[in-house]
Amino acid sequence: MRYSFFPIFAHAITHCIFAMLKTLLIEDNADAAEKLLFLLHKYGAENIQFLGQASSGQEGIAAIEAQKPDLVFLDIELGDMTAFEMLERLDQVDFQVIFTTSHEQYAIKAIRYSALDYLQKPIGREELLAAINRALNSPNRILREQVQQLAQQGKSKVVLPEKIALTTAEGLVFKPISDIVRCESDRMYTIVVLLGGEKLMVSKPMGQLEEILDGHGFFRVHNSHLVNVQHIKQFVRSEGGYLIMEDGTTVSVARNRKDEFLELFSKF
């Protein structure tokens, strides 16, 4: 067991009166680990009680089981296994995770589908502080279903997931992507309309959902509307052009999106 501890760092924040997150760092790149430790020491000392670090998946498992952290900064590619595989091997996952990655776009998408947090290297001060703040203000721990989603998605760079985790005021709701009829923008939130008429207020702007759902047959027909092409019943050319969805609702098609939509729609 090779994970190391930093008593000086821990001692420096012992007398801190703010909320503290017991934190582990799991990172196989020594330079990346050193840079993140520097940022945590400089900007996160008021909120971070640093327990130690590990440089592989096996060491990470041992460190988590021994130290029982509240928060783990977790590199996605660990050499001996991926972060997703590491989490799947844990008997209990009752902590928050902030993934760190350099360039693995497929992995970032997997994280977004599962409604989890991540930082892209090189990590900046503002991004780090925002991630720590989100961890402090959210009592949620990573759920086993999220771990299973990540493990499944992490095994392939091409197979798209069947479910998405939607963040609501009540918590995470897992829904089949094929059940989403349309999404409607509500400022920084999005109303997701599902088969059967169920509506969810999701705490993400629609642009983020559009990015996550890319490749699943969704099309932005209007600034405020993202529709699942598979659930379009009819396109009506009159009144500027609008859609009738399978749930009976109508959605306007913006003039500047009409030609592109018709070209896309002809393929289905």
pLDDT tens readout for residues 79-137:
999 999 999 999 989 999 999 998 777 788 888 888 899 999 999 999 999 999 989 98
Q: What is the pLDDT of residues 132-175, one digit of tens each?
A: 998 998 767 888 888 888 877 666 554 567 899 999 988 899 99
pLDDT category, 62, cuts 50, 70, 90? Answer: very high
On whether the 173-265 domain is CATH 2.40.50.140, my answer is no
Beta strands per DSSP E along the chain: 21-26, 48-54, 71-75, 96-101, 117-120, 163-168, 171-176, 180-186, 189-194, 199-202, 218-222, 225-228, 232-236, 242-245, 250-252
Section 34-56 average pLDDT: 94
- What is the structure's pLDDT at 154? 63
Look at residue 28 in the predicted model and tell me its pLDDT.
95
Residue type, 125: R
The pLDDT value given to residue 137: 86
- Cα separation of 74 and 54, whole Å? 10
Under the banding of pLDDT at 50, 70 and 90, the label for residue 231 is very high
Q: Which residue has the tokens 């940022």?
A: 39
Is residue 10 over pLDDT 70? no
Report the pLDDT averaged over residues 47-51. 94
Give start-end residues of each CATH 2.40.50.1020 domain in the chain: 173-265
Return the pLDDT at 1.
44
Q: What is the pLDDT of residue 103?
A: 73
- Bond preceding residue 122 cis, omega within 30 of 0: yes
What is the rounded average pLDDT of the residues 218-232? 95
Q: Is the pLDDT of residue 250 over 90?
A: yes
63 against 238, higher pLDDT: 63
Looking at residue 54, its amino acid is: A
Q: What is the pLDDT of residue 9?
A: 40
- The Cα-based distances of 81 to 10, 27, 45, 77, 212 in angstroms read 29, 12, 30, 7, 25
Segment 35-55 mean pLDDT: 93
> Which strands sit side by side in the sheet containing 218-222, from one edge to the other?
199-202, 189-194, 180-186, 225-228, 218-222
Whether pLDDT at 222 is above 70? yes
Mean pLDDT, all residues of the chain: 87
In the prediction, which pLDDT does 88 show? 92
Query: Minimum mean pLDDT among 25-34, 109-118, 246-255: which range?
Result: 109-118
Q: For residue 102, what pLDDT is reported?
A: 86
Q: In the chain, which residues fall in CATH 3.40.50.2300?
A: 7-154
pLDDT at 157: 53
By percentage, how much of the chain surpasses pLDDT 90? 63
Topology adopted by domain 7-154: Rossmann fold (3.40.50)
